[in-house]
Structures are given as structure tokens and as C-alpha cells.
Amino acid sequence: MASLPLAMPGLVVAFSYFVFFSKYSLYGFFDPFLNPGHVLVLAYIIRKMLFTVRLVFTSVIQTPEELEEATRSLGARRARVIRRIVLPLVWYCVVAVLLPGPIYILSEVSVSVTIGALKGGPIANPSTHAVPITYAIAEIFTLPSVTGGTQPQARAAALAALLMVTEVAVIAIASRLARRGQALITL
């Protein structure tokens, strides 16, 4: 079931959310006009959660059953087995799969453009509308040159470099943690 959102194109999810929340949450917490950020967070979770769920699930099922049974055999109840044995063993893997979450979201375009642009909009109020960083880079890059000060192209390049550094750092940490997690599980 967790994989079902994958079958939905981002635009379909975005429009469905827009229609649903503009009808049932108008002026409320999930009002797509007033609080597109809230709807975005929900959309990101639903769209990207399945990767995390799948990877965490894989880590958990890789934990040898005997480790849990040895704990139960010594007198531990199920909850304690999960807290003291399963979670510490899969923790590195869980963190490792959670870390790339923001990376997925940074590259999530269809939902962000559709829902995020509702508040203010790129033309009416460019300072308040919410779009993914890649979209922002493209927008800034196409702005006309200015006399004096930093050129928009340079700002776009700096933003792109920042994005790359962040992504590389996150991927490096995630890989390192995943390796440690695997080392513990497969011992």
C-alpha cells in the first residue's frame, strides 16, 4: 500500500490536494491559498515516504531472527526487544534512509510548482511563492542582467553549487551510516 502514491503523477496528486483542501479546509490549516506550505509538507510525505518505508523495512527484515529470539529467551518482552535490539541495530540504516529525504524533496517539481505557486504566485508576489530550488535557479538564471552588483546568473550558479554541496554531503553521510548499519546487521 505504501507504494501506491508512486503510481500517481505529481500533477494528479497536486490537483487532487488542491481540489480536496480548497473544499474541505478553506481558511483552515490546509488551505492551499493561505498555507500552501502545510499542504506541501503533506504531499512530500505521501509522495516520498514509500522510499523510506521500503528501505527501513528492508533493514528490519535483515535483522537475524535469532537476535530477537535470544532476547526473548532471556526474558524480554516484545516491546523491549524492539527498543533494545532491533532499533539500535537498524538505527544507522533508518537515519541513512531518512537523510536523502530532503534531497528527494528538493528535486520534487510537479507538486511544488502546482501547489507552491498558489500563494502570491511568481509574478504577483515572487517573495512568498514556494517552488523547488531547481525551479528557482532556472527563474533567477533567466532574469535580465543588472548594472552593478551580483549578476542573476552568478546568483543562480552559487545556488546550484550550494545545492550540489548539500546533496554530496548528505549522500556521503547516508552511505557511511548505511555501511555501519549493514556491518552491524550482517555480523
Partner 1 sequence: MGFIQVEDVVKRFGKTVALRGVSLSIEKGELFAILGPSGCGKTTLLRIIAGFEVPDSGRIVFEGRDVTELPPDKRGTVMVFQNWALWPHMTVYENIAFGLRLRKLPREEIDKRVKWALDLLGLRGMEKRYPGQLSGGQQQRVALARALVVQPRVLLLDEPLSNLDAKLRLRLRGELRKLQRKLGITMIYVTHDQEEAMSLADRIAVMRNGIVEEVGSPEQLYSNPSKLFTAMFLGRTTLVLGKVVDTEDRTAVIQLGEIQVKAINHGLGKGDTAALVVKAEGATTRQPHSPGDYTVLRGTVSVSMYIGSFIEVRLAIPGLEKDILLDLPSDEKEPLIGSELEVYVPLRNMHAYPAEEEIVKEALEQA
Q: Compute the distance between CA of residue 161 and CA of residue 168 in angstroms, rounded to an integer.
A: 11
- DSSP characters over 114-159: HHHTTSS-TTT-TTT----HHHHHHHHHTSPP-SSS--HHHHHHHH
Of 69 and 158, CB closest to partner 1? 69
**Closest C-alpha to 131, from 115, 154, 150, 153:** 115
Residue 95 touches partner 1, criterion: CB under 8 A: no
Residue 59 touches partner 1, criterion: CB under 8 A: no
Q: Compute the distance between CA of residue 138 and CA of residue 142 in angstroms, rounded to an integer.
A: 6
Considering only residues 142 to 171 of the shown chain, the ones binding partner 1 according to CB under 8 A are none
Considering only residues 61 to 80 of the shown chain, the ones binding partner 1 according to CB under 8 A are 64, 66-67, 69-77, 80
Query: Shortest approach of partner 1 to residue 180 CB, angstroms?
Result: 10
Residue 89 touches partner 1, criterion: CB under 8 A: yes
Region of residue 149 (left: phi > 0; alpha: psi -120 to 50; beta: else): left
Binding residue (CB under 8 A) for partner 1 from 37, 88, 121, 126: 88
Of 49 and 85, CB closest to partner 1? 85
Residue 103 touches partner 1, criterion: CB under 8 A: no
Of 1 and 74, CB closest to partner 1? 74
Of 60 and 184, CB closest to partner 1? 184
Of 54 and 80, CB closest to partner 1? 80
Q: Which residues bind partner 1 (CB under 8 A)?
A: 64, 66-67, 69-77, 80, 84-85, 88-89, 183-185, 187
